Each structure stands twice: as C-alpha cells, then as structure tokens.
Chains A and B, each alone.
Chain A
C-alpha cells in the first residue's frame, strides 16, 4: 500500500470523516468550493482519476510544491511559508512507494504529478460507497509532521 500524506482536521485523535475540505472523504459534485469527483447517470463515481487529494512526503523538496494553506502555521518554523489552519494536522498512511496502484481492495492511488495524487475508487461504486470506504481507513492514519 503506497505511503501517502494528507492535511486533515482531527476528531478524537483521528482524521475527521466528512465531505468537506480537509476531511477524510471526497467533496461531492455541487460542493461550493470544489468537487473532487464526478458522478455518472447511474449514480456511480466516474473512474476519471478524481478522488481525495494526497501528497507523497513531508521532505522539503515535496513540501515546496504543496500549497502552503495546507500546512498549519504552527509548522512555519520548519516549513517556510506555512499558512494553514492550526486545527489541521498532517496525517500519513501506508508504507510503499508513491506510485499508482491499489491502496485497499476497494481504493486505488492515482498519481497525478510529482507532488500530488488522488485516492479514488478501484472499481465502479456509488458516491456513498466511496465515502464509506474512505471512512473505513480512518484507523490507519497517524499524525506525521515535519
């Protein structure tokens, strides 16, 4: 399972499950800020690479490419320019290389660039099922910050 990082708000020591920005889940079509996925006519999430955004590491070379609104201000002493909400934490899951491939039996990592990827459905599923599958990973995330 690829190792991935994501800035998310916390709830009782775990990443907060939800369908809003910086939560464990995807933002559905019609979200006021940005939708992470598209849904087809039959109600399934389109397998077009859309999904929950993640980044590959917290080494300086990668963090240079991560928008600084995603790095909490309290880390500014270690990450130049950090300007994110201090209620967020940087969470990590997985151990393998940051490469496209299966995350779980139902989720896959789609690497979209050097510093960005999405966790998307591994096969056709509804939006609700995708949210449930993402929520199921909650115990696997741990805080790992620079």
Chain B
C-alpha cells in the first residue's frame, strides 16, 4: 500500500495543506513556499508511480478551489454514459482506486459537488489515506453547510487520524453553537468524552464537558437510531462522571444497558457498563486508577452511521 511509505504520507499531508492554502488564495504566501520545499524533500524518496498517484490526488484536490478538470486519459477510456454506473458499482464493491479513477472522468453534471467530495473521502478512507479523507469530507461539508452528517464524519475521521485536539476543538465549537443539529451534538459529545480520558486533559475540559452534558441531554430524546442513542448515553455517562454528576452518570449508564443495539460487542459493552455503574455508585469512577474501565467503555463510542447520499 502507498501509505506504508512514510515519505508518501508526509508528501500527501503537505499536498493537502498546500491545496488548502491555494483555496484560501494564499498560493504565493511564504507558507506555501515552505510547504513546497518540504514536499521536494519528501519527493526524493518517492517512486515515479507514487508521484503519478500523488499528482492524481493533486488533481482531485483542485476541486477545493474550483479548478478541477477531467483527466483526459480517463475521459478517453471510460464511456461518458457509463460513468455513474461504474462509480456506483465500484463503490459498492469497495474498489476504492476505481472509484477515484472514474470520478476523474468529469462527473460534475452527474452528482452535486458535495456528493463527489463525499465519495472521494470514503474512497481515500477505504484506502487508509486519512489526510485526503478529512480534506474531502470537509469539502463536502463546505459545499453543503446544512448537512450535519458530513461534519460528524469529519469529526470521526479527524479522531481516526489521531488529530485529537483538532477534533476536540471542533466538537467544542459545535456544542457551543445552539443551532447544531442533535446528531452532531451527540457525535461531538462522543469526541469530548473520548478526549476526556486522554492525558493530559484539555485545560477547558470541565467547562466543555458541562456544556456537552446539557446539550446531549436535550439531543438524546430526539434521536431515533438505537446505536446512536447507545453511544450517546455512554458518552453522556462518561462526561457526567467528568463533571461530578453521579446521578446523571448512573442514569445514562442504566439507560444504555437497556438499549437494544446492533453492535457485535453488546455483551462485552454491558460488562463494562455494569462495572462503570458500580464505580459511579461507590464514588470511585473518577480517580485516574479507575479510568481503565472508562477507556474500555470509550472504545464502544462508535461513529453515527451515515447513509450514502442519493
């Protein structure tokens, strides 16, 4: 896999940053120049095949500043009338390289731009290339500001990329915004709950956790998906422990035990939930030495399932 090469990953990250600067009309800035210098250093360790593939990524990223053009090679090879079907078929079979290639045939009249960005994000994620996956999901969110699912997916991808503080900062902003949709509130609460059991804790954790608890308590009754309700309740319980609200924590864990999820790990999660409930009741849930159970519980905080756009 391309991502096995550390220099490939580094170049890819830099390329994503460079296109972000171009999109921000800072192509001529000292920062852009610095990025290109770093890219050149990484280039020395890349094969021609890797350069060609990164060039294709660069072409994909051009959509973030409205400069994308179809790849003439793909246009010549793929019948225009079949592009949509080919993309859908490749997507359903998880042939991620094919998805990316067919999308280069020029598909702007077949899908909305946010959908193209979404498909690219899922394809790069499927290939384990998370830097472009985040960039394209952010692009989808930019193109469709009212679609909370894109923002929720970006949060998850950031966390998966180990960009924890960035994910936490975004989650904090979503929680502070009264207009944030309930599903994104729950996702944001999940990010804060996971960040809360990392060391060192963010300086503003208790303030943010208090906001998260309040917002999640409002959002949960509106949610209908059992899996999202379950992870929301687990997150809420962990955050309530964080803000020393034992009653809210116990209530959330008890409710979580009653949710019928589709998770394979439902049995093991119930063990951890029962243990956490005991710790809360005995007033021992918060000390650092008891957080190992909380860490285990946090592993069950899964992303909200998001449907593929039609």
Contacts and interface: CB of A to CB of B under 8 A. Distances in A.
Do A and B come together as binding partners?
yes
Interface of A: 21, 32-34, 60, 64-69, 73, 76-78, 80-87, 113-115
A87 B28 CA distance: 8
B36 A85 contact: yes
B39 interface: yes
Nearest to A115: B48
Contacts of A87: 28
Given A33-B40, A67-B55, A68-B55, A77 B69 contact: yes
B48 A65 contact: yes
B28 A85 contact: yes
Nearest to A80: B59
A83 B48 contact: no
B93 interface: no
15 contacts: A21-B36, A34-B44, A65-B48, A65-B51, A67-B54, A68-B59, A69-B18, A80-B69, A80-B104, A81-B58, A83-B18, A83-B22, A84-B36, A85-B36, A87-B28
A69 B52 contact: no
Contacts of A113: 48
Nearest to A32: B37
Contacts of B18: 69, 83
B97 to A, nearest CB: 16
Please list the 4 inter-chain residue pairs (A to B) with the smallest Cβ-Cβ separation, ordered nearest first.
A81-B58, A81-B59, A80-B59, A76-B67
Contacts, number: 83
Given A65-B51, A83-B62, 11 more contacts: A21-B40, A34-B44, A64-B52, A68-B59, A76-B62, A80-B55, A81-B55, A81-B56, A81-B62, A85-B28, A85-B32
A69 B62 contact: no
Contacts of B10: none
Contact of A83 (B56, B58, B68): B58
A82 B71 CA distance: 12
B42 to A, nearest CB: 10
